Structure formats: C-alpha cells, structure tokens
Amino acid sequence: MDARSKALMELLSAWCGPFFVVTFVFFWGWVGMNIPPLSPHLSAAEVARHYAEHSGRIRVGFIMSVISVGFYLPWTALLTIQLARREGRYPVLSILQLIGGALTMLVVSMSGYFWIIAAFRPDRSPEITQMLNDAGWLSVDQLYICTTLQMCAAALVCFFDRGPDPLFPNWAGWLAVWGGFTFFPASLTAFLTTGPFAWNGLLSFYVPYPAWLVWFLVFSYYMIKDANRQVATVARA
C-alpha cells in the first residue's frame, strides 16, 4: 500500500468514530428503546409485555447497533497507531488501549445479542425473557473495566506526549480518565433495582454512557485532525 492510500485509510478510520456515535445512539438508544432504559424494578410479566409489544423494533434496533459497534474497531486500531507513534518503542499503553477497545466492542455486542434473543420469541416464559433482559444490562454494566482501561491507557500516553505537536491536549486526557472512572458506580447494578445506582439510574446510566460518548467524540476530533495532517504531508511529498 502506498503512502497516500495509508493516509486516506487513517482518515477513513478516524471518521468511523463520529459515524459510530451517531448510528449507535440512534439504533441502540432510540430504535432499541434503551433511552430511557427499561426499569430493572419491573416484573417478569411487564418485561415480557415490553418485548412482545415491540419485538420487531427491538430486533431491528439491536441488529443494527451490533453492526454499528463494529466501527469502533477501525477507530480503535487507528488510535493505537497514533498513540504508538508518540509512545515509541515497546508501546505497552497503546497495545493495552487496543485490547480494551476490542473487548469493549465485544461486550457491547454481547449485550445487544441478549436483547435480540429476548425479542426473538415473544411467547416464551416471561421469566426467561426477564433473565435475558437482565443479562443484557448486567453484561454491559459489569464488564466496563475493559473500556475504563482503554480510556486510561490512552490518557497516559497523552500525558507523556511531550513532542512539539501532541496528538491530544492534556485536558482531553483528563476527560478520558474522568470518563473511565464514571463507570465504577455501575458495579452496584448487580445489587440495586431502584435509585441512582440501578441500571436506569443517574450514576449508572445517565453519567457514564454520555461521558464515554463525549470522550469518543473529543478524541475523534483530534484524530481526524492528525489524519488530515498525514494526508496533507503525503500530498506535499
């Protein structure tokens, strides 16, 4: 692959970030009816009724969200390359960020997979549908550590980047650290079905998920700027 093609591939991968955010919020949040989330306090019959009444819409929403989250991977791959250029030899943090991003994609896909199954047979036992709904929410809420590690690893490279043209400003690194740590209250979703720490609560849903997406968009902005610089450099050569 020549230098121009490589630079254009980097730019395309960078734009996968905003594309992911827009499609994911639309399909996972609106079409899949996760905004607002279904309350964990609902009975099995109420949960089953929700899936029965909206079976087609829920399946479409999460099928498309599982596809859209695939765009998280090229974005993560590019971030790995951009961080590794600054980290230098033995880029441990860049590789950790890569692993965290790949696992994030898997965890988010798995939660959608459980909700697709829950909507697949609306006439099954309500208790089974409730269990699948629980599995979807608890998987994405309890397995957040891979995302936190991705965000914090990227932040550390940002802090150590002392070059003349850093990839990210320091404040973006602190945003990543803060965003990564906002997921920790979600651990309490394993115990609570009401209040701010339930999976539909302020501190387990309305703070960490927007913080993650805001971090994603901020990093995407600077990644696109860097990719555009690469394209311009190749064009001048």
Residue 134 makes CB contacts below 8 A (sequence gap 6+) with: 40
What pLDDT score does 228 carry?
Answer: 92
| pLDDT score, position 34 | 97
pTM: 0.94
What confidence tens digit (pLDDT) does each residue in 60-92 have? 999 999 999 999 999 999 999 999 999 988 899
What pLDDT, on a 0 to 100 scale, did the predictor assign at position 57?
97
**pLDDT reported for residue 232:** 86
What are the Cα distances from residue 81, in Å, to 10, 11, 185? Answer: 9, 12, 31
pLDDT (0 to 100) of residue 1: 75
Runs of H (alpha helix) within 1-43: 3-24
Could you tell me the residue ranges of all domains in the chain?
A: 3-228
Q: Return the axis-axis angle of helices 44-53 and 55-68, rounded to nearest 10°.
A: 80
Q: Are the C-beta atoms of residues 134 and 48 closer than 8 Å to each other?
A: no
Cβ atoms 97, 150 nearer than 8 A: yes
ω into residue 169 within 30 of 0, thus cis?
Answer: no
Asked whether the beta carbons of 70 and 77 are under 8 A apart, the reply is no
What is the per-residue pLDDT for 203? 97
Q: Which residues of the chain have pLDDT under 50?
A: none
Judged by phi (left if over 0) then psi (alpha if -120 to 50, else beta), residue 110 lies in alpha
In whole angstroms, give the CA distance from residue 20 to residue 27.
Answer: 10
